[in-house]
Amino acid sequence: MLSLIVFLPLAAALALLALPRLGAAAARWTWVAVAAADLALVVAAWLRYETPTAGRLAFEEQAEWIPGVNSSYHLGVDGLSLPLIAMTAVIFLACAIFALRETDRPRLQAALFLFLQSVSMGLFVAADLILFFVFFDLSIVGMYFVIAGWGHGNAARSAMKFFLYTFLGSLALLVGFIGLYIAADPHTFDMVELAEQTPLAGSSLAGGLVLAAILIGLAVKTPTVPFHTWLPPAHTDAPAIGSAVLAGVLLKMGTYGFVRIAMPMLPEAWRDWAWVIIVVGIVSVVYGALVALAQTNFKRMVAYTSVNHMGYIVLAVGAAGLVADDTAQARSVAVTGAVTQMVSHGLITGALFLLAGVLQDRAATYDMDSYGGLAGPAPRLAAFFAVGAFASLGLPGLSGFIAEFQIFTGSIAAAPVTAIALVGILLTAALFLRALQRIFTGETRGRSVGFTDLRAAEVWSVGPLLVLSLLIGVFPRPLLAVIEPAAEVVVELVGR
Amino acid sequence: MSESALWLLVLLPAVVGGGLALSRLERAAAAVSLATAFTTAALSVVVALERPRVSVPFMAGSDLALGVDALSALVAPTVAVVTLLVLVFSAGEIRESQARFHGLMLLFASAALLTATAETLPALLFAWEVMGATSFALIGFWWRDDHRVSAGITAFVTTRTADVGLYVAAGAALAGGAGLALGDLPVSSEGWRHVVAAGVLVAALGKAAQLPFSFWLSRAMEGPSPVSALLHSAAMVAMGGYLLLRTEPLLASTGWAAPAAAWVGALTALLLGAVAVAQQDLKQLLAASTSAQLGFVVMGAGLASVSGGAAHLVAHASTKALLFLAAGAWLTALGTKQLSGLRGVARRWRLVGWAATAGALSLAGVAPLALWATKDAVLAAALAESPWLYAIGLAAAALSAAYAGKILVILWRQLPEREHAEVEAHLDKEEPGTRHVGMLEQAPLVALALGAVVLGVLALPPFGDTIARALGEEPLHPTPLEMAASVVIALGVLALVWWRPVPEPGWALSWLGLERATQALVVRPTLALAEALARFDDRVLDRGVAGSAAAALGLARRAATFDDRVLDGAVEATSRASLWAAAGAARNDDRWFDGAVEGLAAQLRRLGRLARRPQTGQLHHYYIQAVAVLAIGVLLLVTVR
């Protein structure tokens, strides 16, 4: 099941590459069909999903791969990864629909995104560190080509910066993985076994160093302050669907690593360094929001709000490391919120970046002051944008609130000082409303004149993302019922 | 049955409102909206009588729980009925984007009703912030005007700043171990309970436009008048007061939060009363008055007079909705809301004029109208607590009479012929007037005026006692002397205001300068910090990364140089040296080694020749040699031993 979910898009990508005479329209629709089929498979898996026993995975698949180092082709999902693969499938389908109007090498683009989809799916279901690492690095390679090949502005430079920065980060991650492998007895790269063994328990120096290597690798990818400076240029110069995937899916690889690898495998080091992680989280929240507030370029602004939103996640998982007997429930609420935030941020920021793509498509600029009164000629865009903005600032009724309420409630209960981060929701409220005002209200002026409202493909790609955010915001139970048991397991593992 | 009524009460306006807001049903919008509002009002009466409770699992181990008790049985119908009346008015008043307007109003009403019936913190916060967001959209309803949108942003961001209190309260409640149900908050563990109370208090004060948050309400007057009639009389602002009434046991349990609420309420009633007296714009006056009147509600919550506070909340809702609608009707008809442009207006539209008069008299605290009785109920509780609090309350009541009197003077005083031109100069200054007030606008005023007259029964025996007991309080009656005193004060001040113009000091006219202070102390420094950090991000952090990349390149270049010059040079030199050494070695080889070898060979040949000498082949030579060797061997053995 999982292998099919992971490799179906890759197979389609290879087929697209093998058929150079395929027409553009056929290529675009093939992409949509494959992405839809993959989503259908994920939905089927979700419907059949039953929470596995603690420490185990559902739909496990294992085959020999590199027996010499005890690394196997091992896949599986639990409450941490299932929501993420569902979100990934949704984002990629939205991108496929959005790209139905793409004219620039559509066959190659479809193949590249299908490849990226396989890689992303593979990362979230990987249960072996080497496998995880391979997908992690391939995602960087894929995104490099997306930005360099279909970007605008200073795309080549931004792509190179993105590649080098995140690739170096991944090397730190690899060092950490090797550290885990060496410390494990018997040596293994298997995630389930490593989580059971907690290899470096008892050696705080080695444990701390290995954790540091892994944290740096993940922090670059997430990104957290101060490793975030590759993000704004990468987003600004990436194509709309590239940004949607980068923010929606690729950033989650970093935060997912925290709950999947760092916390369960290095619980002792995690507890020792919890305060550092919390501080990085708080700084990312406040710093990201403040810098976003000062932006005049809409896409850069959303990019910085991603730093802010990822900061909430880091904050919550850090707070989960402050183990005390009477805060187990609070820490589990915080981790649930963190995972919810990964899904929510994917949907919302994906939608916002696609909408930014509409600005670029029509008027070739993201500069907010070039617009004004856009709600007049483009009421649908205005409505979608308003919903996305409110979702991103954490308005109840939309998914961001469900995530952030739990993050704050749980984190504040575990570590009251984290209440500082609440400044973040004020700043994001102010900056999104200011953006709304700058672009959409007032007299119609500048680039807004003659602006064409959302087209069908845009409505049908962005709309479902926002509807999903609304559904999660109003009926969070189906999602939380999957996440909560897994979050409890993580909290328990960190408490060992 | 009644459970589904409660769900419907919240969901019906939410779903219809959301649908309308996104639709383009301009023609049918008002009809759909009125039908929905009417059904909602009916549902609110049903749930007020049946008192159902419902819940579904939500998040953080807490339910989304709704329930109707004695308090919400008063407040929920108030919200629903005022919503209906305001929407009737809007059907006549709002001519453009009707679908969006009615949709947003219904969404707002749904959130307000959820706030009024919420029984857990997540449910409350959920509704609480949706109220804020819809208020942003409604205040900025005319989005072509930048200043109105800015006013909406101010309202939302300011109230959200206070809302942060509820997030903190939720975290503290979770840590406090008693769960997130509002009713359980007072039994949280000792330390956390104070944090919960502080958070709730701040959030409520922000929403209720109490000090120091009041300024957002002034800006909110940029929105359409029906918006103010609902949001800034019966719902959003009132919900701030309501939250404190709802959590009164929590406030009381801390020992400090209740007195703090009482004093903030009293000071707001006093200072914002003064602000209202100084205003020259009718809507600004009414807004300041709203803050001041909500001050009495907040006082009631702080003084454990939930019944008095609730009665005042309901009576004020009716009174103030009425006055805002009247102000809106005149604004539409005459194009101005400046008091000096509205002089004598009651004589022009009699029904509107009389309705507004009833409202103003109620606001002034004239017996037996609504706010007279309800305010006195709160003041009685204040006297029981502290004479100072009572004195401040009385002073605030006198100010209410002063600003209400200011309205009455404007409405009714005969205009001398020579000042007609002066008044007419104000007309159509703010928008083109229609010179017309339609039936749809007038009908709701009558109903609200009725409320402004009779709702005092909520605080008077016997009805008031029933309510107090239902809320678990002993009925507390002001003495006849206190009631008479308040009436005398009200009438005296009214007479004074009729006789002499009221002072309009600048500090009060500018709402105590609170907005300017916020701009100077919070907004501008934050923006400056944001700019500075953005520069830091670009110039230092990013350049740091670029710098390290450049440094890495430089290092690589130097390494390449090192590689060329030093390493490679060394290798070259080594090989040159080896060649040279080899040549030397070859020479040496020829000269020395080879010679040595040759020499050795020659010596060996000589030795060989020597060694051949003894081998003569003659036996006696061999014997002699053997004896000699033996003799040497024996000699060696002897000497070595």
The span from the CA of A80 to the CA of A338, in Å, is 10
Handedness of CA A282, A283, A284, A286 (dihedral sign): positive
Q: Dihedrals φ, ψ of B64, to 5°?
A: -90, 95
ipTM at complex level: 0.94
Res. B634: pLDDT tops 60: no
* CB-CB neighbors (< 8 A) of A410 in chain B: 60, 171, 174
Per-residue pLDDT averaged across A169-194, rounded? 92
pLDDT for the residue numbered A313:
96
The span from the CA of B121 to the CA of B168, in Å, is 11
Q: CB B269: neighbour CB atoms within 10 A? A: 30
Q: What is the pLDDT of residues A450-475, one digit of tens each?
A: 999 999 999 999 999 999 999 999 99
* CB-CB neighbors (< 8 A) of A425 in chain B: 160, 164, 167
Per-residue pLDDT averaged across B204-227, rounded? 93
Per-residue pLDDT averaged across A342-361, rounded? 96
Q: What is the pLDDT of residues A420-446, one digit of tens each?
A: 999 999 999 999 999 999 999 999 999
In the numeric block, the tokens 């885990």 are attached to: A180
B61 and A333 within 8 Å at the Cβ level: the answer is yes
In B455-540, alpha helices (H): 463-470, 480-499, 506-509, 514-518, 524-536
Take residue B536 and report the two structure tokens written for it: 């830091």
Take residue A371 and report the two structure tokens written for it: 């617009």
Q: What is the pLDDT of residues A229-239, one digit of tens each?
A: 899 999 999 99
Total length of chain B: 641
pLDDT for the residue numbered B637:
56
pLDDT for the residue numbered B506:
86
Total length of chain A: 496
Model confidence band, residue B546 (pLDDT cutoffs 50, 70, 90): confident
Q: Which DSSP state fits B327?
A: H
pLDDT for the residue numbered B427:
87
- Tell me if B392 sits within 8 A of B386, measured CB to CB: no
The alpha-carbon gap from A158 to the nearest alpha carbon of chain B, in Å, equals 12
B545 and A401 within 8 Å at the Cβ level: the answer is no
Stretch among A308-322, B191-205, B225-239, B591-605 having the lowest mean pLDDT: B591-605
Please, what is the average pLDDT of chain B? 89
pLDDT for the residue numbered B567:
76
pLDDT for the residue numbered B18:
93
Res. A143: pLDDT tops 60: yes
Which residues of B, range 172-231, sit inside 8 Å of A by Cβ?
Answer: 172, 174-175, 177, 195
pLDDT for the residue numbered B641:
46
B125 and A396 within 8 Å at the Cβ level: the answer is yes
Res. B581: pLDDT tops 90: no
CA distances from B99 to A376, A386, B124, B145 (A): 16, 17, 27, 19
B301, B471, B469, B470: which is closest to B378 by C-alpha? B301
Neighbour-count burial of A109, counting CB atoms closer than 10 A to its CB (0-12 exposed, 13-18 middle, 19+ buried)? buried
Which residues of B, range 506-545, sit inside 8 Å of A by Cβ?
Answer: 526-527, 529-531, 533-534, 537, 541-542, 545
Q: What is the pLDDT of residues B70-109, one digit of tens each?
A: 999 999 999 999 999 999 999 988 888 899 999 999 999 9
Question: Structural domain boundaries of chain A?
Answer: 2-494
Q: Which residue has the higher pLDDT, A205 or B616?
A: A205
Res. B294: pLDDT tops 90: yes
To probe the interface with B, which of A171, A409, A470 has the most B CB atoms within 10 Å? A409
Model confidence, pTM:
0.89
The alpha-carbon gap from B137 to the nearest alpha carbon of chain A, in Å, equals 10
Q: What is the pLDDT of residues A263-278, one digit of tens each?
A: 999 999 999 999 999 9
Question: Structural domain boundaries of chain B?
Answer: 1-243, 256-509, 524-615
pLDDT for the residue numbered B604:
73
Take residue B312 and report the two structure tokens written for it: 């005042």
